[in-house]
């Protein structure tokens, strides 16, 4: 993974509108196999080359939630980071991610409710500059008041 900033915590008091963070990760066969094992989603479109060739995707694809997990990684590790609590997430899958694809995952602050420590984030993942996933997340951000 190649992150744009060190991992850690940005407290609600320091979060600003328009802040962004991202990571890049190449999705590997091993990632897909491990996700299948952990999630118990063994759909052959993810795991079986012969089966997947005969689908609309014409080849294996990564689990959509594996791609969405990269958004979770940015939120939980960078913005807001450690101590963040997920409250909700919307997702729309626009295109498949394939083994070997380099995925760029980014979140951007679009709303802040300081009193409730809530932050709304615009989220997307892209491969070769093309968005493959879009959505929004609502999170409860950590605060220095509770540390």
CA distance 91 to 97: 15
pLDDT digits (tens, 9 = 90+) for 56-106: 999 999 999 999 999 999 999 999 999 999 999 999 999 999 999 999 999
State pTM to two decimals: 0.93
Q: Are 132 and 68 in contact (CB under 8 A)?
A: no
Q: Are 80 and 15 in contact (CB under 8 A)?
A: yes
- Domains annotated for the chain, with CATH where assigned, are 19-140 (3.10.129.10)
pLDDT digits (tens, 9 = 90+) for 36-69: 999 999 999 999 999 999 999 999 999 999 999 9
């Amino acid at each position: 993974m190649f992150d744009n900033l060190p991992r850690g915590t940005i407290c609600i008091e320091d979060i600003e509108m328009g802040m962004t963070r991202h990571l890049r990760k190449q999705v590997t066969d091993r990632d897909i196999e491990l996700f299948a094992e952990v999630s118990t989603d063994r759909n052959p479109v993810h795991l079986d080359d012969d089966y997947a060739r005969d689908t609309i995707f014409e080849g294996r694809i990564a689990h959509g939630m594996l791609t969405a997990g990269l958004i979770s990684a940015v939120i939980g590790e960078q913005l807001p980071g450690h101590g963040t609590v997920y409250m909700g997430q919307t997702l729309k899958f626009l295109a498949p991610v394939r083994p070997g694809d380099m995925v760029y995952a980014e979140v951007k602050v679009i709303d802040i409710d300081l009193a409730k420590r809530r932050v709304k984030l615009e989220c997307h993942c892209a491969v070769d500059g093309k968005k493959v996933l879009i959505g929004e997340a609502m999170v409860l951000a950590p605060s220095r008041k509770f540390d």
